[in-house]
Amino acid sequence: MRSLLDGQDSCVVMPTGGGKSLCYQLPAVMLGRTAIVVSPLIALMQDQAAQLAQMGIPAAVLNSSLPSEKQAQVIRKASEGEYRLLYLSPERLARPDTIGWLQRVPIAFFAIDEAHCISEWGHEFRPEYRQLSRLRAHFPDRPIAAFTASATKRVRHDILHQLQLRDPHKCIASFHRPNLRYLVKECAGGEQPSLLLRALRNYQDSSIIVYAPTIAKVGETVDYLEAQQISAIGYHGKMGAAERRDNQERWMSDEVRVLVGTIAFGLGINKASVRAVVHLALPKSIEQYYQEAGRAGRDGQPADCILLWQKRDAALLAYFADQIVDPAEKERAWQRYHAIRRFAESTDCRHRQICLHFGESPKWTACGACDACGCESAWLVKSVKAEQPKLRTPAALVMPAPAATAAAAGIADLDPALREYLRQWRRAAAKQQGVPAFVVMHDSALDEICRRRPGSIPELLGISGFGEYKAALYGPQIFEALEQFRAGARAALAPEAGKNPYPARAGGL
């Protein structure tokens, strides 16, 4: 933040949930001019702009999904300096007409989100990001800040070169997420469904993400979980935008606790209370795994990252790597393949392996928070085939699940009826405004309201997440909801999960 306020280029590498957005949002507000934020994620841009609006900070998104009249209005207001933050896609920035009107905007600095996309060595290389090198030529006196959560040392050097950053301040946070527990299990034939089921039942009433490798596997997994009385919904790129948005919002609002998705899900997701992320196949790289698994435990509470892989996953990754025609890209794919396979098969500390991969050299050799360091749950230690219905496991072998324990401890002092009543109010307020529920209020703020039961604006301002604008916006509604609850009002029954959009398939998972 100081670097941007001082007009200096910056390269910022922080883990998912580390606060990257705040690093450019706050300086933009303090400088009183417009920060141009470049992001490839339309949903993320829209959510961030909505969150800023809830705090009284003028922000806008400009992309092709807007009607032409609305696009013209945003450009006009931006030229007049009305926004503190303006979100653009790299494709929009590459348009011939964009540079012209941008030069009329009172720009404070450029913030490049997901900056690893500019590097061919990155796990999500996007050619359109290479157009961002034009920024230095057209705006030589404007600072540029690059932000990413998953860049190796090689990718970081490429970012500096491609964006032509000048003597940048480098802020490289630790890649060690001590609140996460990494559990990796190679599954024999037929083991994976039962292990998944046992894992999910270990996190009662907690939000969970399950990553499936294909669209078909998403459908099969949703079918399987529904058959086991676990409510789940799917998310993948072939769904319509409205359906994807609706499913994501239902999960974000805790209407459904398990979301099964492909890698299309999760970029920019801002749900802090995810207690577990489960992968049903080997990701294509350690960077991808770190980014996706890192969506667990963003609230700092213990959470589990579970990788249930099979040998055929590795064979499939090898096949795709071999199909690549470009020699340089093929070599990069093979390097990613060998790295993720070493990670899955190694008996070394998982946390340490991840840190070393990203160029960090921890002084410790064992974390105490991964399967390689002896931290496993009974459901994972035992073979599914060997398990008997009435088998009694010695107490010494049963290790409590940190995620489940923490989740229970975190809400133990809350009135569950009040919590559900406020959640229902939050869902209604979000739908009325057309924004996701977390934009209205994060779970942590909602829980704190349950504990404190504020009765005035000053009391509400004492709760993290409420500034003067938001307190004035929602305070009267919150006080009324609390009063109604005291008078005996309770939440209506939760809506049905809805009909499974996937046809039943033979063979289960």
Please tell me the predicted confidence (pLDDT) of residue 508.
39
**pLDDT tens across the length of the chain (509 residues):** 999 999 999 999 998 778 899 999 999 999 999 999 999 877 788 888 988 999 999 999 998 888 999 999 999 999 999 999 999 999 999 888 999 999 999 999 999 999 999 998 887 888 889 989 899 999 999 999 999 988 899 999 999 999 999 999 999 999 999 999 999 999 987 899 999 999 898 887 789 999 999 999 999 999 999 999 999 999 998 998 889 888 988 888 788 999 999 987 866 677 888 999 999 999 999 999 999 999 999 888 899 999 999 999 999 999 999 999 999 999 999 999 999 999 999 999 999 999 999 999 999 999 999 999 988 766 565 544 433 333 333 433 333 444 445 455 556 678 999 999 999 999 899 888 888 788 898 888 999 999 999 999 999 999 998 999 999 999 999 999 999 999 999 998 654 444 433 333 333 34
Structure tokens belonging to residue 383 = 């073979």
pLDDT in tens, 426-459: 989 988 888 878 889 888 899 999 999 999 999 9
The predicted-structure confidence for 54-94, as pLDDT tens digits, reads as follows 999 999 999 888 899 999 999 999 999 999 999 999 999 98
Asked whether 186 and 310 are in contact (CB, 8 A), the reply is yes
Q: Residue 488 region, left (φ>0) first, then alpha (ψ -120 to 50), else beta?
A: left
Q: Which helix (H) or strand (E) holds 37?
A: strand 34-38
pLDDT of residue 410: 57
The whole-model pTM stands at 0.82
At 155 the pLDDT is: 93
303 to 203, 209, 213, 403, 464: CA distances (angstroms): 10, 12, 22, 4, 22
Sheet holding 144-148, edge to edge: 59-62, 85-88, 34-38, 107-112, 144-148, 10-13, 169-172
| Torsion angle in degrees (nearest 10) through CA of 288, 289, 291, 296 | 160
* Structural domains of the chain in order of their starting residue, each with its CATH number: 2-172 (3.40.50.300), 180-383+399-407 (3.40.50.300), 416-486 (1.10.150.80)
Question: How many other CB atoms are there within 10 angstroms of residue 488's CB atom?
Answer: 6
pLDDT at 19: 87
